[in-house]
A = this chain, B = another copy of it.
Amino acid sequence: MTVVLEATVDSELTNFFETQRQRIDASLDVLLEPASEFPTILHESMRYSVFAGGKRVRPILAMATGDALGGPQTAVLKLAACLELIHTYSLIHDDLPAMDNDDFRRGLPTLHKKYGEGVAILAGNALLTLAFKRLSELSAEGVDPTVTLSVIHALASATGTPDGMIAGQVVDLLTAGKDFSESELLYIHRSKTAALIRVSITSAALLCGSPPDVLERMSAFGSSIGLVFQIADDILDVEASFHELGKTAGKDAQAEKATYPARYGIEKSRLLKTEQLDRAMTELEFLDSRAERLRQIAQFIDSRGH
């Protein structure tokens, strides 16, 4: 009986993910230039990476936050799609030969393998630039211009430096093959991965007009669930196969990357992941049943590294 119930919940969550993914993909299709628009190779390559079959974790978190806090759905969906544009840009650049040098992503050749390095760098730049352009249009959806500016500011901070995604990626790149400290490891994971996941939640909360105490709790939830995500990723890189990952497995160990398993071993990494999940769940308590979907997504993010 328990098994049947769990299967029901899983299938309900799977359906939810699928429905949200379709909404996000439809929004992305509108935000991106058509592939037929000149210069076609640029627009084709942007779409190749955006529609390569990502899980849409960040936009789904933004939309679930919007639902939990009662935000404007159309604006949150547009924000959600912009988050995916930024995430895709970061993956394209991370895969470059000068970075992680990956040949596969989501089971497909990486963008630079298919279109060349120059186009890949430019397609990444174009996705980042497009995200800011589309974000600046949020007030056309009825969002107060000051709120739109605060969303742009939050996203630029979380994806930049000194404690955003680019800063984390620099330290990730430079510690590869070297000894690394506990604080460097935490800095990398917080900046490289958790910052964008956190801002996916806080930027949606900003659109909902959340007061400072709510923003603070949602930020803490986002930080913790972002760490859960990256620790799970680290564990998967050790334990999963190419087929399961859609990309070459064991790359972190090969490149001697600063990861949780490299520092703590698999078992302690799992414990630290559970600790962060618990923290994340505690932060959501104030939302009672409104946060049910966010809790399910958090569980899903955690389960990737079981």
Interface residues of A (CB under 8 A from B): 33, 37-39, 41-43, 93, 96-99, 116-122, 124-126, 128-130, 132-133, 136-137, 139, 145-146, 148-150, 152-153, 156-157, 159-162, 164, 166-167, 169-171, 173-174, 187
Contacts and interface: CB of A to CB of B under 8 A. Distances in A.
A271 B166 CA distance: 45
A152 to B, nearest CB: 4
Contacts of A170: 39, 41-42, 118-119, 122
A146 B153 contact: no
20 contacts: A33-B161, A33-B162, A38-B167, A38-B187, A39-B161, A42-B161, A42-B170, A43-B162, A98-B116, A98-B117, A98-B121, A118-B170, A125-B166, A126-B160, A129-B164, A132-B132, A132-B152, A132-B156, A133-B152, A133-B160
A117 B33 CA distance: 29
B130 A169 contact: no
A118 B132 contact: no
Secondary structure at the A interface, as helix, strand, loop or mixed, is helix
Given A118-B170, A137-B153, 17 more contacts: A39-B161, A39-B167, A43-B161, A93-B122, A98-B118, A99-B118, A118-B173, A119-B173, A122-B166, A122-B170, A126-B160, A126-B167, A132-B152, A136-B153, A145-B145, A145-B146, A149-B149
Nearest to A191: B39
A262 B37 CA distance: 27
A39 B163 CA distance: 9
Given A121-B96, A153-B137, A130 B160 contact: yes
